[in-house]
């Protein structure tokens, strides 16, 4: 069974991935900046899975900490087979509402956090001659999504990173896949701009969940199932759900139409918030 690391593994898609990996017998390092969440997830999975789960507190913006965890895992278990660089945050709002702090946070976590994981894992896998790196981007990495361009920018970069590295890595026996989820019912949507200046799209602490809207979102478990299937098939891009694949198809066939659809969303937002 595989020796696996999942960043952002204490919640959302990461937790669902960890559950599936542990369920098939893998050894899973559940890495998250939320140490208590990682520990609780590991305890839960160990109680009901055949695999072994271990929690690890990890800030993916700390390159040294990422390298140390990945190297320690490979050393302690003899190898590192599979890595999910999955940790990320949501940043949203019109460009004129955003401060440089929004850009910096998005780049530090969504892009540099992935780069840190790729760099650490790839060096280990080059030495051992095998492995699979899976980076989480977003549908926003394939479609020109407005109202959150720092997020969209970083996710486009992760897609480019994954596809280019895949071409290099294939000659060394290493696989690289990039995950592009559409709208998934995770806590990410409830922590938009967390710790950052507010915009009209910032999540409000204590706000009631819109259960009707949430019920229309894809579940983390379904997304994890799609990811695992794509990883097994060594897909370059894993895009789900079906509505996400449709949006991707629209973008490939008519970028002009994709941008026009984005304009409708921007107009609605400006009208709702009285921004003219």
Q: 45 near 20, Cβ under 8 Å?
A: no
Cα separation, 47 vs 53, in Å, equals 10
DSSP single-letter state for residue 33: S
Strands (E), 234-273: 237-240
70 belongs to the catalytic site? no
Q: Residue 29 — φ and ψ, nearest 5°?
A: -95, 115
What percentage of the chain's residues is helix, strand, coil (to nearest 5)? 55, 15, 30
Q: 239 near 252, Cβ under 8 Å?
A: no
* Tokens 């984005």 belong to residue: 262
Which residue out of 70, 122, 151, 218 is catalytically annotated?
151
User: Residue 31: in which H helix or E strand, if any?
Assistant: strand 27-32
C-alpha neighbours within 13 Å on the C-beta side of residue 202 = 14
Q: ω before 241 within 30° of 0 (cis)? A: yes
Kind of pairing between the strands at 237-240 and 27-32: unpaired
Cα separation, 239 vs 246, in Å, equals 10
HEC per residue, 171-182: HHCEEEEEEEEC
Cα separation, 2 vs 20, in Å, equals 12
Residues noted as catalytic: 151
């Amino acid at each position: 069974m595989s020796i696996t690391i999942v960043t952002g593994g204490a919640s959302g898609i990461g937790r669902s991935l960890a559950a599936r990996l542990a369920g098939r017998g893998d050894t899973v390092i559940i890495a998250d900046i939320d140490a208590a969440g990682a520990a609780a997830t590991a305890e839960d999975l160990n109680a009901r899975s055949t695999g072994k789960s271990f929690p690890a507190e990890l800030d993916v913006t700390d390159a040294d900490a990422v390298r140390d965890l990945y190297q320690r895992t490979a050393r302690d278990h003899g190898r590192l087979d599979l890595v999910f660089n999955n940790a990320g945050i949501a940043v949203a709002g019109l460009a004129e509402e955003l401060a440089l702090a929004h850009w910096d946070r998005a780049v530090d976590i969504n892009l540099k956090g992935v780069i840190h994981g790729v760099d650490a894992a790839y060096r280990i896998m080059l030495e051992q001659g095998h492995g699979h790196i899976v980076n989480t981007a977003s549908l926003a990495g394939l479609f020109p999504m407005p109202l959150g361009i720092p997020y969209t920018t970083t996710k486009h970069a992760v897609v480019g990173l994954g596809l280019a590295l895949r071409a290099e890595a294939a000659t060394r026996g290493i696989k690289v896949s990039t995950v592009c989820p559409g709208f998934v019912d995770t806590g990410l949507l409830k922590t938009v701009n967390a710790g950052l200046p507010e915009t009209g799209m910032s999540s409000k602490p204590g706000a009631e969940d819109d259960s009707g809207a949430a019920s229309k979102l894809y579940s983390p478990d379904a997304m994890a199932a799609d990811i695992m299937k794509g990883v097994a098939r060594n897909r370059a891009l894993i895009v789900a759900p079906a509505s996400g694949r449709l949006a991707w198809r629209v973008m490939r066939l008519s970028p002009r139409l994709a941008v026009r659809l984005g304009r409708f969303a921007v107009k609605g937002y400006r009208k709702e918030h009285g921004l003219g």
